[in-house]
Amino acid sequence: MSRDLDVLSAFTILVIALMFAFSVAFHISNSTICFLGDVEEQSIAVRIIEQLCLSPGDPPNWEDSGAIAIGLAQQFKSTPYTLSKRKVIALSRMSINEVLSYLGVPCGRFKVQISLESLLTDFDELEFKIGFVNSENAFTTSRVVSIGGELFILRVSVERVYGG
């Protein structure tokens, strides 16, 4: 009788252990998928902001001659995070899909918002916001940049589109 009870107990413990192992495996695979999605979202945001801030674009005078790739850095200036006023104005007049195609970001899979706001003064002539994301779900990165001697915050927010 006690041996039967022992076998039954051991079997119950085995079932509990198996259920736990399955739930742990499910949790880890879910977390990993979520983590990889977050990393992709973050790396897209970083790629966009670094390209905009550090590259002058292709050709470097793309705002006049038409763009292959866009960037906002000044053409002959080696100081990082110093942007060209004319390129910023040209960017602010583009649609977000146009900007993403020049930056090589796949449209449809991500929603992107790019904004520029003045930091210390109310210098709102250059301020803009293109695109739209839900800021609660999006990853936002930013850089302090100087344009014509004034300081601004350039923000890039990226949100994954589920099923996109």
Partner 1 sequence: MVGKGQLQSLEALIALFVVLTMSMMSLASYDRFLKEDFASEEYKRIISTALFKLDEVGVLPKIASRGDWNDLLEILRSLLPGFEVHLTVYDEGLIAVYSSGCCRRLFFEVYYVHVLPFSGRFYALRVLVGEGGG
Residues that bind partner 1 (CB under 8 A): 2-3, 5-6, 9-10, 13, 16-17, 20, 24, 27-28, 31, 35, 38-39, 42-43, 45-46, 79-81, 119-120, 139-146, 149, 151, 153
Q: Give the angle subtended at the CA of 135 by the CAs of 132 and 137, to the nearest 5°.
A: 110
- List alpha helices for the chain, DSSP H: 2-54, 62-65, 85-92, 96-103
Q: Which one, 102 or 139, has the nearer CB to partner 1?
A: 139
Which lies closer to partner 1 via its Cβ, residue 102 or residue 152?
Answer: 152
Residues 6+ apart with CB under 8 A from 159: 41, 110, 111, 112, 133, 134, 137, 138, 139
Least spacing, CB of residue 37 vs partner 1, in Å: 11
- Minimal distance, residue 102 CB to partner 1, in Å: 23
Identity of the residue, 14 or 68, whose beta carbon is nearer to partner 1 in the bound complex? 14
For residue 160, the Cα-to-chain-centroid distance in whole angstroms is 9
Dist. CA 1–CA 53, nearest whole Å: 77
Taking the complex as a whole, the smallest distance from the CB of residue 56 to partner 1 amounts, in Å, to: 18
Beta carbon of residue 66, minimum distance to partner 1 (angstroms, whole number): 30
Residue number with CB closer to partner 1 (95 or 135): 135
Furthest CA-CA distance within the chain: 91
